[in-house]
Amino acid sequence: MARPKPLSGFPELLPAQRMVEQAVIDIVRETFELHGFASIETRAVETMDSLTRKGEITKEVYVVRRLHAEPGETGDDLGLHFDLTVPLARYVLENSGHLQFPFRRYQIQKVWRGERPQEGRYREFTQADIDIVGENTLADHHDVEAPLVMLETLERLHGQLGLPPARMHVNNRKLSEGFYRGLGIEDTAAVLQRVDKFDKIGPDAVTELLTDELGLSGQVAAKCVELATICTEDDSFVGRVRELGVHSEMLDEGLDALAQVINAARIQVPGRMVADLKIARGLDYYTGTVYETVLVGYERLGSISSGGRYDSLATDGKRSYPGVGISLGLTRLLMPLLARGELAASRSVPSCVVVAVDTEQTRTTAMRVAAALRGRGIACEVAPKADKYGKQIRYADRRGIPYVWFGGVSGEVKDIRSGDQVAADARVWTPPKADARPRVIAGGQ
């Protein structure tokens, strides 16, 4: 059989890389749970109606179809979810009678998008989401809470594992929409869609889109672009917007809401959040604060964490379920760092010890040693062959395993890095904490 070719856009990690990913997931999960978010997992497929019901969805949905469909069965009514927010809306509607509101959930799961594969963009990838969902109403302070939880998560990844620091760019859809309405623009969604391309195509091209495609006057288009250029690390953006001479009640609401988020972040995570008034977010279900996050030094990857406020994502006709959420693209965050060797694991297996085998007749003795070590939480494996000790040591070295055990439960343990070998009892011996589990090494060190 010929060697299979990898499928573009469907990354698969080597064992050592997977250990890095698991270490990241552990910190993400722990941080989310510290803030009271409960874990859920939704099915991989949703109906095509639910996947496409929120206006223009630019992501290509993978359709799920049975190979041997029954007569009359079209098979085109199911698709793989492209994010975790649409499944959440359906989950809340189906289970609202069993949930306590505000419902705080986190979800770490794979999603699928039919995009053109490139660095930072994949067809199958893992996301980690948090959302706070209310019943009919949801307090505005949750718009402040959600991004701060994500920033705390990213700060922990930076401090504990050495990932690059992150900076979150925040805006408010009410601010932008209120500004456009103050200019007399009716189709504010169309303007938001064009402004959302600001970073990709630049101010001149955005101005051209606003005038040529939407028919805005040059003066009005210039005001829209001038708003998009405002970016501050404090609430001074309020004064700069006021200087543009545009007024509306919705604009005032957006300015106040965004100032609350920025001022809270300056206290809790100084230097990690900026007010960036060109941030729009393309999906039309966002109605308030919106977030996009970049890795410092890796801005070319685009946003690795994004989200916002949505007031009408889910409704059953009698009750509505507003929410605020933010998503971390784990695969987008990790794959470029792993590919460059800027994050690595100290070894490719969880084992800390190889228990040597004298002869195949005494393998049961080695297995008893391994059981004693595992009973105390020390990961180990028994040598696969009763080779000469030198070969068993080389076996451990190739796998990055630091210790080899010789003899019975009361035997000797060798640190193969230093060559030190001491008497030890498997019922009490403990490796140094740094050796007990594989460690994440930053910077290829």
Domain span at 289: 16-344
Residues 333 and 197 in one domain: yes
List the beta bridge partners of residue 290.
171, 308
Rounded Cα–Cα distance for residues 238 and 226 (Å): 14
Can you give the pLDDT at residue 249? 95
Average pLDDT over the chain, rounded to an integer: 92
> Is 408 a domain residue?
yes
Domain stops at, among 329, 344, 359: 344
> Is 319 a domain residue?
yes
> Is 10 a domain residue?
no
Map 75-127 to HEC letters.
CCCEEECCCCHHHHHHHHHHHHHHCCCCEEEEEEEEEECCCCCECCECCEEEE
Domain stops at, among 321, 344, 367: 344
Beta-strand ranges (E) seen in 330-401 are 343-345, 353-355, 380-382
Three-state secondary structure call for residue 390: helix
Q: Which helix (H) or strand (E) holds 208?
A: helix 198-212
Q: Residue count of the chain, please give it.
A: 445
pLDDT in tens, 133-181: 999 999 999 999 999 999 999 999 999 999 999 999 999 999 999 999 9
Rounded Cα–Cα distance for residues 288 and 311 (Å): 8
Q: Look at 49-58, 179-188, 219-228 and tell me which has the smallest mean pLDDT.
A: 49-58
* Predicted confidence band of residue 283 (pLDDT cuts 50, 70, 90): low
> Is 94 a domain residue?
yes
> Is 304 a domain residue?
yes
Residue 346 has pLDDT above 80, yes or no: yes
CATH assignment of the domain containing 96: 3.30.930.10
Residues 339 and 351 in one domain: no
∠ CA(46), CA(48), CA(52), 5° rounding? Answer: 110
Rounded Cα–Cα distance for residues 257 and 171 (Å): 9
List the beta bridge partners of residue 223.
none
Mean pLDDT of 22-31: 97
Can you give the pLDDT at residue 2? 77
Residues 312 and 396 in one domain: no
Structural domains counted in the chain:
2
Residue 367 has pLDDT above 70, yes or no: yes
Residue 113 is labelled as binding a ligand: yes
Can you give the pLDDT at residue 316? 87
CATH assignment of the domain containing 397: 3.40.50.800
Residue 286 is labelled as binding a ligand: yes
How far, in Å, are 54, 144, 391, 397, 415 from residue 418 at the CA level? 61, 51, 17, 12, 6
Can you give the pLDDT at residue 91? 96
Residues 350 and 295 in one domain: no
Residues 188 and 176 in one domain: yes
> Do 96 and 321 touch, CB atoms closer than 8 A?
yes
> Do 345 and 441 touch, CB atoms closer than 8 A?
yes
First to last CA, the chain: 38
Phi, psi of 325 (to 5 degrees): -150, 160
Q: Are strands 380-382 and 353-355 parallel, antiparallel or unpaired?
A: parallel
Residue 76 has pLDDT above 80, yes or no: no
Residues 389 and 316 in one domain: no
Residues 35 and 151 in one domain: yes
> Is 11 a domain residue?
no
Beta-strand ranges (E) seen in 182-256 are 231-232
User: What percent of the chain has pLDDT above 90?
Assistant: 79
Can you give the pLDDT at residue 366? 97
Residue 285 is labelled as binding a ligand: yes
> Is 2 a domain residue?
no
Residue type, position 249, single letter:
E
Residue 85 is labelled as binding a ligand: yes
Residues 316 and 411 in one domain: no
Residues 167 and 270 in one domain: yes
Domain stops at, among 324, 344, 364: 344
Alpha helices in 135-197 (DSSP H): 141-156, 173-182, 188-195
List the beta bridge partners of residue 215.
none
What global pTM score does this model have? Answer: 0.91
Residues 177 and 307 in one domain: yes
Residues 391 and 270 in one domain: no
Phi, psi of 249 (to 5 degrees): -65, -40
Return the percent helix, strand and coil in the chain, to nearest 5. 40, 25, 40
Residue 244 is labelled as binding a ligand: no
Residue type, position 116, single letter:
R
Residues 386 and 311 in one domain: no
Q: Could you tell me the maximum CA-CA distance found in the chain, to the nearest angstrom?
A: 89
pLDDT in tens, 400-443: 999 999 999 999 999 999 999 999 999 999 999 999 999 999 97
> Is 9 a domain residue?
no
Rounded Cα–Cα distance for residues 84 and 366 (Å): 47
Can you give the pLDDT at residue 280? 82
Residue type, position 420, single letter:
D
HSE toward the beta carbon, residue 130, CA cutoff 13 A: 25
HSE toward the beta carbon, residue 202, CA cutoff 13 A: 2
CA-closest candidate to residue 149, choices 314, 16, 22, 269: 269
392-396 — which CB contacts under 8 Å span 24+ positions?
392/354, 392/356, 392/357, 395/354, 396/354
pLDDT in tens, 212-269: 999 999 999 999 999 999 999 999 999 999 999 999 999 999 999 999 999 999 998 8
DSSP secondary structure letter of residue 60: P
Rounded Cα–Cα distance for residues 297 and 267 (Å): 24
